[in-house]
A and B are shown apart, each in its own frame.
Chain A
């Protein structure tokens, strides 16, 4: 994984609460056996009309939302299934960070492992961001704050290990493999029991 230290972008806003992983990527697209190319399927049934044209009522289709890589979403984003296709699709679509007052557990873990910043922020600030789409934000992963255009800062806290991995591009599988001795020891004890 490449290190992720800063993200700067205008925000796009999806104010709906409980945006589930089926809405992020419908299940019928999960027959893929690779991680690539899922961006065109991201939010598929929300984003396109039945005839394949863009649904202009979908907030991310508005001209001002194009190219935004920071998504502010309603509470409990990513609820539902464990499909890692959800963060893969968002990243391939161009989203680099999701800001929310609450993010579903499995989605959050999957996102961070892929370098997608799933960041939980305070409810008051979340509410404010939901009401102000299109503002320019700068996310600082090392110092754990989001800079507002007026100089204000929104603090956040990432799980320390996830933050360490993001900053240094640490490969978590590599980290686990380094614990071979401890794992083997556990297995020996288990067998003896």
Chain B
């Protein structure tokens, strides 16, 4: 029978089948760990006298609570508070005690968990991947079934390498046509979430497919899959293809030599069969996507930046517009900006930094605007510095930081002040997400950079054209 990509991966990982009374027991191939959602799980294991079932299937890093400023003169790190420092120390101790590979401060590979998994080649097609982090959906870009779990489940995977799961429904998102010049993956996914709604994907695994998806680079596919959770879907998938294989080849944890050829042969079967049935199908016209931003307080409140902000239809939307100070009938384009943040597991990879740099080259961040550029990993930082991007950013007046989640979750001290408007390449524009009272507008790296230069939300296409001329 014709199967979807999701069904193929799911079926290959069932340890015990689902029944009316019990969920399936699903095997987990890769468990990613960071400092925020793991300490209570390690404690639970310790209390019960349990060991990790397969520590080799785990990979840990420090990213959420870590400062992005360089070390102090005395070699200490400028943590936001003692709790953040203690949390990092706790993960270091836990990984030491339980024997987990940790990419900590002294690792050349440290970075945001969803950036380093793929970089190291740990993320591979056909795998099941989990992490105590909702943006685990990022890894779906490689044709892996990847989703966020809570801390209790982190403990389940540590002790048994398995999860109890009911099979989700499937939704195909066909993206036909071609994205217009100057319009990117971030615009596309904001457009998709704006179309299906902030809860449109609840209960589903999304499969992005169609010509516009196949044309995306791996970095762009990660941006799209990353935000699947912002539509309520736990996972997003893209079938692996030659783009995927070329990207993975030679990475440290990827299969090598003959094993590589064997793996690729198997991975080629990881696509939805003709005639496979989804529970729901949605069609999106890539050609109609414009530079897109959010105007409210959840990612589903997204529109083309030159389109008028819709009037509120209920108290919730009124509250969101009031909080954002967005004016119905007026476009978001032109709104004055206080802070610009380029980073996060959505948009902190080398191509994102290059995109911002293309806009900033030969220009300056507007007076009164603060701009932070936070690479997703040490590898991204090295590559960017090799190209001189750090000089370009600092010459333009931006701050060049040490890798981490930074202002996306704003728990490490990087945050905006009450009332400030932040154009951010991250994934969530919830009230207070980037600091109490801070107003977040989600955007692509190009839009964020253009807005930094203009001091107002600006269309990056005007800047990209000038550079090309």
Q: Is the CB of B152 within 8 A of A177?
A: no
Our pick among A18, A32, A105, A179 for the contact of B203 (Cβ within 8 Å) is A105
For the complex, give the distance between the alpha carbons of A79 and B86 in Å. Answer: 28
Secondary structure at the B interface, as helix, strand, loop or mixed, is loop
Which bracket fits the contact residues of B?
A: 35 or more
**Residues of chain A contacted by B202 (CB below 8 angstroms):** 76, 102, 104-105
For the complex, give the distance between the alpha carbons of A75 and B200 in Å. Answer: 12
Q: Is the CB of B155 within 8 A of A102?
A: no
Output the nearest chain A residue to B38 by Cβ-Cβ distance. A33
Q: Given A105-B232, A160-B21, is A34 in contact with B40 using a C-beta cutoff of 8 Å?
A: yes
For the complex, give the distance between the alpha carbons of A18 and B65 in Å. Answer: 26
Our pick among B39, B53, B134, B152 for the contact of A113 (Cβ within 8 Å) is B152
- Smallest CB–CB gap between A81 and chain B, Å? 5
Of B159-167, B283-291, B304-312, B335-343, the one touching chain A: B159-167
B151 interfacial by beta-carbon distance below 8 Å: yes
Which residues of A are at the interface with B, using a C-beta cutoff of 8 A? Answer: 15-18, 20, 22-23, 26-28, 30-35, 45, 74-76, 79-84, 102, 104-106, 109-110, 113-114, 159-161, 164, 172-173, 175-177, 179-180, 182-183, 185-187, 190
**Residues of chain A contacted by B161 (CB below 8 angstroms):** 183, 187
B452 interfacial by beta-carbon distance below 8 Å: no
Q: Is the CB of B152 within 8 A of A84?
A: yes
Q: Given A33-B90, A75-B199, A183-B27, is A80 in contact with B134 using a C-beta cutoff of 8 Å?
A: yes
Our pick among B27, B64, B83, B149 for the contact of A32 (Cβ within 8 Å) is B83
Given A45-B436, A173-B159, 10 additional A-B pairs, CB 8 A: A82-B37, A83-B150, A104-B199, A105-B202, A105-B232, A109-B150, A113-B150, A164-B21, A173-B152, A179-B16
Our pick among A34, A110, A176 for the contact of B164 (Cβ within 8 Å) is A176
Q: Is the CB of A35 within 8 A of B40?
A: yes
Q: Is the CB of B410 within 8 A of A82?
A: no
Q: Is the CB of A176 within 8 A of B234?
A: no
Our pick among A74, A161, A179 for the contact of B15 (Cβ within 8 Å) is A179
Q: Is the CB of B436 within 8 A of A106?
A: no
Q: Which of B16-56 touch A at CB < 8 Å?
A: 16, 20-23, 25, 27, 36-37, 39-40, 43-44, 48, 53
B270 interfacial by beta-carbon distance below 8 Å: no
Q: Given A30-B36, A110-B150, is A159 in contact with B23 using a C-beta cutoff of 8 Å?
A: yes
**Residues of chain A contacted by B234 (CB below 8 angstroms):** 105-106
Which residues of B are at the interface with A, using a C-beta cutoff of 8 A? Answer: 15-16, 20-23, 25, 27, 36-37, 39-40, 43-44, 48, 53, 64-65, 81, 83-84, 86-87, 90, 132-134, 148-153, 155-156, 159-162, 164, 166, 198-199, 202-203, 232, 234, 298, 300, 314-316, 319, 409-411, 415, 428, 430-433, 436
**Residues of chain B contacted by A113 (CB below 8 angstroms):** 150, 152-153
Q: Is the CB of B25 within 8 A of A183?
A: yes
**Residues of chain B contacted by A177 (CB below 8 angstroms):** 159-160
- Smallest CB–CB gap between A51 and chain B, Å? 13
- Smallest CB–CB gap between A124 and chain B, Å? 17
**Residues of chain B contacted by A76 (CB below 8 angstroms):** 198-199, 202, 232
**Residues of chain A contacted by B151 (CB below 8 angstroms):** 84, 110
Q: Is the CB of B430 within 8 A of A20?
A: yes
Q: Is the CB of B40 within 8 A of A31?
A: no
For the complex, give the distance between the alpha carbons of A76 and B316 in Å. Answer: 12
**Residues of chain B contacted by A32 (CB below 8 angstroms):** 83, 87
Output the nearest chain B residue to A29 by Cβ-Cβ distance. B411
Q: Is the CB of B83 within 8 A of A173?
A: no
